Structure 1
Amino acid sequence: MYAGRAPLPAHIAEVMGAEPGSEVVIRRRHLFDRETGRPEEIGASYIPMEIAGGTFLEEPTVVPKGLFLCIEDLSGKRYTTARDQWVARLPTAEEASALSLPLGAPVMHVIHVARAEDGTILEVSESVWPADRIMVIDEYDVEPTATEPEAPSEV
């Protein structure tokens, strides 16, 4: 949908620890079901200028491999940690229209923050999907004995 330099939206600047309106490279996309043509996702990736500025990531073309691999190549750093923030909410008017949603249908909105080993943010991406088409599976080990948490719960 779009690739190029643009100001950082406030909700993304907050998770990046940056000033709203700072210039970044943004790659916006709308994804559709290949068989039905039904809209399935609205997404965007926000990449720091020091990584993507002046590169092919500013061009509105399909990248030659997974975006994260392109970012690793350009930055010389590897993705090592990620934090995903999931929110169920009602869509904006633009989202409802783009996803062909009926009135009152909820969406799932995820903001994904990817960092390198040194803590550098390599990319922040966000995606919005119709909530009735999402399944979240959370699988993890359960410790045999309770331990004190290192930080308070965010719930």
Structure 2
Amino acid sequence: MTTSGPSLNQPPSRRIAEELRAAIEAGHLAPGDKLPSERALAQEYGAARNTAREAIRLLAEEGLVTARHGSGVFVREPQRLFRFGSDRYSRSNRETGLTPFRLEARRQGKEARIDVAYISREHPPQDIAERLDVPVDEDSVLHRENHYFADDEAVQIVSTYLRWDEAQGTPLTQPRTGKDGIYGRLEDLGHIMTRVRDEITARMPTPAEAAVLDLPSGVPVIEVLHTSLDQEGEPFEVSRYVHRADRTGLLYELSVE
């Protein structure tokens, strides 16, 4: 590896990271390739091992490399994205008997698993209370949290909020809600989804989210705050989707009026 003029003015760790990044981008270090050890990098660049360690940390924060315990540090391999969008709530998909996640996993030849983390009556977060028009200082919502896996790899966290006064005493409070899932039970209550509103942001994960999703350092999440509206234009369900950004893409096809 050779150094360029501008990089000589950078801290040693950033100079090492810059050259490794260039090698990855040029394909000299291909996906799956193992990086030189900290000791080897330190010798090559005439630096201390902690300097080489910092350079690798910088690359990991950018999502370019990942450490495998006991094996070393490797260039991350590109992953096929799970794509979710405007059709995920369509009746035609629901009629297959599979959730959007299970359908997408099947398309990729992966085994889907959905774990019900918990179901509880709670005070809602402020943004949820505003969208469902319920008190923020009361146990006014039912909160269902599910963790989604593909081939045992965590992909997304979904937190669904429903008005407690509607959900209480129904299968919505149980892990298994029956045919057509929660939307089937909400239709039983008179709410037919006719419109959705998705608010999409990107951010770094909370420590709890990073632990559930087993996120490598530097990988952000995509948050989709979804609101279902019924035939009366009334919001009746809000779900917060937290996706691994390195595993998920969003695809929306909208008519232009």
Verify same fold: TM over 0.5. yes
Question: Is the Cα–Cα contact under 8 Å of residues 227 and 235 in structure 2 kept in the other structure?
Answer: yes
Larger CA Rg, structure 1 vs 2: 2
Name the structure with the higher helix share: 2
Q: Name the stretch that deviates more: 14-23 or 96-105.
A: 14-23
State the secondary structure of the residue aligned to 1:77.
coil
Is residue 185 of structure 2 the alignment partner of residue 70 of structure 1? yes
Contact 1:4/1:57 (8 A) holds in 2: no
Aligned equivalents of 2:218 and 2:165: distance in 1? 41
Q: Distance in 2 between matches of 1:76 and 1:17?
A: 18
Q: Secondary structure at the match of 2:194?
A: strand
Structure of greater relative contact order (alpha carbons < 8 Å, 6+ residues apart)? 1
How high is the TM-score relative to the length of structure 2? 0.51
2:142 is the counterpart of 1:9: no
Classify the secondary structure of the residue corresponding to 2:249.
coil
1:4-153 aligned at under 5 Å gives the runs 4-22=120-138, 23-33=140-150, 35=151, 37-59=152-174, 61-65=175-179, 66-73=181-188, 75-142=189-256
Give the Cα–Cα distance (whole angstroms) in 2 for the partners of residues 3 and 90 of structure 1.
25
CA 19–105 in structure 1, closer or farther in 2 if over 3 Å, else same: same
Aligned residues: 139
CA root-mean-square deviation: 1.6
Query: Bigger CA drift: 106-115 or 118-127?
Result: 118-127
Can you give the 5+ residue segments of structure 1 that lack an aligned partner in the other structure? 144-155
TM norm structure 1: 0.81
Kindly indicate which of the two structures has a greater share of residues assigned to strand.
Answer: 1
Letter of the 1:56 counterpart: P
Q: Percent identity?
A: 35
Show structure 2 runs of 5+ residues with no match.
1-116
The answer for the alignment partner of 1:147 in structure 2 is none
In structure 2, how many angstroms separate the alpha carbons of the residues matched to 1:142 and 1:96?
37
Question: One-letter code of the match for 2:173?
Answer: E
